[in-house]
Structure 1
Amino acid sequence: MALLVLIVLGATLGWLASILARTEAPGAILRQVALGMVVAVVAGEIANDGTIIGSLSFLSLGVALAATGVALVLYHAIGRRRVKA
């Protein structure tokens, strides 16, 4: 159940990031959703002591939320720098 929660959390945050950044290209939206899912699962697993099949603690949920937010902000910061250069 924890794995499903982390996947949905990451996908939702990636989708919201694409809305906030006003991303219109379908490939870019999918990259953001995929990045959000991967970062949320990895950060949640690390914070949950390596177990992802059982229950999910509030700490690991918060770490996954924060790490996904930071990763998406960095993705947009690096992406905008490449476009300007």
Structure 2
Amino acid sequence: MPKASNNAYSSYSPELYDVVREALYRIGDIDYQHQSDLCEVDRALSDEELKSYIKQRILAAHQKQRQPYVDLLTTLRSDQQC
């Protein structure tokens, strides 16, 4: 029986792994900060209308900050599939 490849990604460069790892690390940091900010708003404010407004602003900032890393990963993935 033929031996299967140990790693389907073994032909990818170490530099690619570094870029992907760094992008995922940044996304994780951004997501953690976003969740922390939302929790702080919940704890600090009682006015639901103000709380909702601030949460919307936090979400918009989160998406804007996170999107370049998501785009990078999407581009890297599509480049590797060619």
TM-score (norm: length of structure 2): 0.37
Which structure: larger Rg?
2
Q: Which fold has the larger relative contact order, with Cα–Cα distance below 8 Å and residues 6 or more apart in sequence?
A: 2
